[in-house]
Amino acid sequence: MSIAQAVLEPRVVVLGTTTLAGVGASISTLEWLRNARQLAPGGLYDWAIVGSRRFAVGTRLRARVANRLLEYRGFLAVLGIRFLSVLLLPAAVLAGTRVAIVAVLAVVVGTTLLMNLRTVYGMDGSDQMTTQVYGALLLGYLPGTSLALSAALWYIAVQACFSYFVSGAAKAVSPQWRSEGVIFRIFNTQTYGYEPVARFLRNRARLTWSLGWSAFLVEMAFPLALVVGFPLVVLFVLWGVAFHVMNAVVMGLNSFLWAFAATYPAVVHVAAVLAS
């Protein structure tokens, strides 16, 4: 099977998507397990504090289930199950048994939603995209039709393009992003900065201006990836990978790399379908 044929095959696309998403999801899960002390009593995410939200208070069944699953020991079990299920999912896709795929996807989506509910603070766009990807695939496999799976892949591709466009448009209307020094100021912060890069950009106003404008212009142009056909769509994918690798290295946003890379197989698939 050639590459041009492979990108038209939904199972190959789903395998790529679940593999890439699984890397990011397993890393984020391991990060929480590594910092489990923050989930324990007395930690920053102590359930005695985080669990004081309305849905977890009271004696109703919903509150009892939430407290059982999201308190310290229960949530560690949820994280462990999520870690195993995201690793198992590509194998289920490769085996091609729909019942197994749906079962594993249901576990992945369920544990992901529980993780989002438990760790409400500190979540970002990568967590939202990961949830969108897994949720769309589950809905795509449930009916057991090729049309539903195709719709799920289209949804993932359009969601990725929409996310990039909105991010770029938000920057484009911002006077700060259109100014010369915004990239330097970002890289000069303690949270998202990187001192060697900040020093390099300090007195290079034109370069920082060019970097800022190129970032939001390409983001706004990303939806064109769906209509340029294959293999030109690969250029957009290469830009996305380079963009997120840079952000991972310089800004520490490693989770965005895997969450958005997981959408690229669907983007390439839709572009190839439209061009065929």
User: Is pLDDT at 149 greater than 90 in this prediction?
Assistant: yes
The phi-psi region of residue 144 (left if phi > 0; otherwise alpha if psi is between -120 and 50; otherwise beta) is: left
Please spell the DSSP secondary structure of 169-210, one letter per residue.
HHHHT-HHHHSSSHHHHHHTSTTT--HHHHHHHTT-HHHHHH
44-63 mean pLDDT? 77
What confidence category does residue 182 fall into, taking pLDDT thresholds of 50, 70 and 90?
confident
Q: How far is CA 65 from the centre of its chain?
A: 27
Mean predicted lDDT score pLDDT of the chain: 91
What pLDDT is stored for residue 122 in this prediction? 62
Q: Could you list the residue range(s) of the whole structural domain that residue 121 is in? A: 3-275
What pLDDT is stored for residue 14 in this prediction? 98
- Contact between 273 and 8 (Cβ < 8 Å): yes
What pLDDT is stored for residue 47 in this prediction? 86
Peptide bond into 175 cis (omega under 30): no
158-171 mean pLDDT? 96
Read off the amino acid at residue 251.
M
80-89 mean pLDDT? 98
What pLDDT is stored for residue 155 in this prediction? 98
- For helices 254-261 and 125-141, the axis angle rounded to 10 degrees is 30
| Range in 40-49, 75-84, 89-98 with the lowest mean pLDDT | 40-49
189-205 mean pLDDT? 84
CA distance 207 to 215: 12
What pLDDT is stored for residue 187 in this prediction? 84
| Range in 53-62, 93-102, 241-250 with the lowest mean pLDDT | 53-62
pTM for this prediction: 0.92
User: Is pLDDT at 59 greater than 80 in this prediction?
Assistant: no
User: Is pLDDT at 261 greater than 80 in this prediction?
Assistant: yes
What confidence category does residue 191 fall into, taking pLDDT thresholds of 50, 70 and 90?
confident
User: Is pLDDT at 128 greater than 70 in this prediction?
Assistant: yes
What pLDDT is stored for residue 202 in this prediction? 87
What pLDDT is stored for residue 56 in this prediction? 65
Read off the amino acid at residue 195.
E
What confidence category does residue 45 fall into, taking pLDDT thresholds of 50, 70 and 90?
confident
CA distance 139 to 261: 20
What pLDDT is stored for residue 44 in this prediction? 87
Q: How far is CA 209 from the centre of its chain?
A: 28
Total structural domains in the chain?
A: 1
Structure tokens at 177: 């992003």
User: Is pLDDT at 275 greater than 80 in this prediction?
Assistant: yes
What pLDDT is stored for residue 233 in this prediction? 96
What pLDDT is stored for residue 67 in this prediction? 84
